[in-house]
Structure 1
Amino acid sequence: MFDAVVRRIATGEYLDGLPGSRSAALRPASPAAVAEAEELAGRSLPSLLRRLYLEVGNGGFGPGYGLLGLRGGHRMGGLDALVGLKGGVLVLCDWGCGITSELDLATGQVWGCDPNPAPEGVSGAFPQHMTIVDWFAKWVAGTLYQPWLVQDPTTGEWRGATDTECAEMLQEAFGPDGPED
């Protein structure tokens, strides 16, 4: 998967959310920044993520407004990846409007957080049923959707939207060609 991510980055389309920033030079994270993150988390980063930080860039590529960096790396909206790390959660990226993708380092599970539509008392966080490898594989394939909290039309429960629901909502909002970059 590492090579596939590097190939996608090499196309120059490595930052989906900020067209003007696609030409920004990527600078790898320092070994000290990775060690600090792992110490804060109390565990090692997944090997793919660790390698991407050390060999490719300290954030600034990937979905949304780019993979958030470790110390000294890519930030968005005042956030870096370390914001929730003492709880073992690495914030992967900011999609805008308060929506984030996060990685639970204890379980390897990627979570979405969409605080926007949920009524008071309902958590905007939900499992996305994928690992970091799955998350990057979907980004490389162009099939990764931002986390989207929806109310199930049958049960009334709040949950993460399926890929099919995301595709339908995007088509409804933007037409068959999707949103413009």
Structure 2
Amino acid sequence: MTENEQLLARVTAKARDTRPWGWTSLPEPVDAATVTRAEAALGFTLPPLLAELYLRIGDGGFGPEYGLLPLLDGSPAGEAAAVVQYLANRESGRKDPDWPWPEGVLPISHWGCAMYACVDCRSPQATVLLFEPNPGDPERAWFVDTPALADWLHAWVEGTGWYDVMDDEFPMVPWTEFRIRTAQNQVP
């Protein structure tokens, strides 16, 4: 069994036993056609591990805090789907150039208060970023949560994520690629 297979088995076990806020049950996984439609709408492919989460475990409804967003359809808790949220964020960034949304950065989990865990679908390991806009400064709204989606999932399964162990200090480092990525990907 590969390392990813082992991780998926552990995530599946925890997903069956825990419900994030607002979810009463684990949704059925999506089919390959749904992933294909999502990728067409996004204009980029999902990292393989992220696609496997949706294809094998469920269409959202598991993970830390409010759990993974559904891929294309809204959640029972009223959350927008990941694709819908991404497209809305990109459009909002076009309207307000002070708050651009980087291309390929897919929101996957809502933390509340406009904060999102996001996967950088352009990074080789699918870096997980935290978007925390509440200080009101776009230059200080992006942080590296974990260098890889696999690390983020391990932290959730093991109860070692920043949200589990956070004290008064915010332990994440800023995502220094924010301005570079948004400048390179400005859409007229």
TM-score (norm 2): 0.67
Q: Deviations over 1:42-73 (max 9, x none)?
A: 33322222111012111011112110011125
Question: Would you say the 8 A contact 1:5–1:136 is kept in 2?
Answer: yes
User: Is the alpha carbon distance of 1:49 and 1:39 closer, same or farther for their aligned partners in structure 2, counting shifts above 3 Å?
Assistant: same
Equivalent residue, structure 2, for 1:9: 15
Equivalent residue, structure 1, for 2:50: 49
Structure 2: any 5+ residue segments left out of the alignment?
Answer: 1-6, 91-102, 170-188
User: Is the alpha carbon distance of 1:35 and 1:73 closer, same or farther for their aligned partners in structure 2, counting shifts above 3 Å?
Assistant: farther
Aligned residues, how many? 146
User: Is the alpha carbon distance of 1:75 and 1:123 closer, same or farther for their aligned partners in structure 2, counting shifts above 3 Å?
Assistant: farther
Specify which structure has the higher proportion of helix.
2
User: Is the alpha carbon distance of 1:129 and 1:9 closer, same or farther for their aligned partners in structure 2, counting shifts above 3 Å?
Assistant: closer
Equivalent residue, structure 2, for 1:28: 29
The amino acid of 1:13's aligned partner reads T
Question: Would you say the 8 A contact 1:8–1:14 is kept in 2?
Answer: no
Tell me whether 124-133 or 52-61 shows the greater mean CA deviation.
Answer: 124-133
Query: What CA distance in whole angstroms lies between the structure 1 residues aligned with 2:76 and 2:119?
Result: 17
1:113 Cα offset (Å) = 1.0
> Identity over the aligned pairs, expressed in percent?
33
Query: What CA distance in whole angstroms lies between the structure 1 residues aligned with 2:42 and 2:74?
Result: 17
The amino acid of 2:153's aligned partner reads F
Equivalent residue, structure 2, for 1:66: 67
1:127 Cα offset (Å) = 2.1
Task: Give 3-state SS (helix, strand or coil) of 2:162's partner.
Answer: coil
RMSD: 2.5
Question: Would you say the 8 A contact 2:60–2:68 is kept in 1?
Answer: yes
Query: What CA distance in whole angstroms lies between the structure 1 residues aligned with 2:138 and 2:69?
Result: 28
Counterpart check, 1:123 vs 2:140:
yes
Question: Would you say the 8 A contact 1:61–1:67 is kept in 2?
Answer: yes
Equivalent residue, structure 2, for 1:137: 154
1:141 Cα offset (Å) = 0.5
After superposition, where does 1:89-108 map in structure 2 within 5 Å?
89-107=105-123, 108=126
Task: Give 3-state SS (helix, strand or coil) of 1:111's partner.
Answer: strand
Structure 1: any 5+ residue segments left out of the alignment?
Answer: 147-162, 171-181
Q: Deviations over 1:145-164 (max 9, x none)?
A: 34xxxxxxxxxxxxxxxx9x
Query: What CA distance in whole angstroms lies between the structure 2 residues aligned with 1:105 and 1:120?
Result: 24
Structure 1 stretches of 4+ with a deviation exceeding 6 A read: none
> Which among 83, 86, 97 is matched to residue 84 of structure 1?
86
